[in-house]
Amino acid sequence: MCRPLEALTHTATELGSAPLPTEIPKEIELDALTMALVRSGEVFSRRMQNATERRSYFESLFKGMPGYVSVVDTSFTIVHANNAFMETFAIAEGRSCRHVCTREFPGGNCPVAKVFMTQEPVVVTEEGIYPDGTAALWLVSVSPVFDAMGQLTAAIESRLDISEVVKADNCRLYGV
């Protein structure tokens, strides 16, 4: 049992007493290494710029979407909303979504709560009132948002006011 340990100790001693290399890398090698580092930095910089441009593009698309669009986390907090949503409901990101629907607490017949429970998309019509007191009929579409691990992290909700469409259909069908 001692022999392998002795052999290992002998080998380590020989390696430790070996002379250190005295040859310093040549200037050409250092230049090549420097150029490789510079090129990798340039490639990384281009990729970061492309990613930033793509993010900005999709942010612009999201903010300009028609209707009222919001992303709500599993705590019922609005984490992202388009311009129409924020301007119409005067509710900033970071607030509870129940304020939009004037609910005392999240849940109940809330389509976002249904998505959190079932993890399936939901489409419903919902009556509501705008902050100015105007009655509305919304077509509400909510879909779950999953992270890379497959965990439900949020829901994206789109509300489209269909009040005028329904009114026009009623006039056409019933002459009302």
pLDDT over threshold 90, residue 117: yes
**For the whole model, what pTM was predicted?**
0.68
d(CA 19, CA 67): 75
Identify the top-confidence range among 83-92, 122-131, 149-158. Answer: 149-158
If we measure between CA atoms, which residue out of 111, 102, 69, 105 comes closest to residue 87? Answer: 69
Q: Please tell me the predicted confidence (pLDDT) of residue 38.
A: 83
pLDDT over threshold 60, residue 2: no
DSSP 132: T
pLDDT digits (tens, 9 = 90+) for 78-108: 999 999 998 888 876 777 777 666 666 666 6
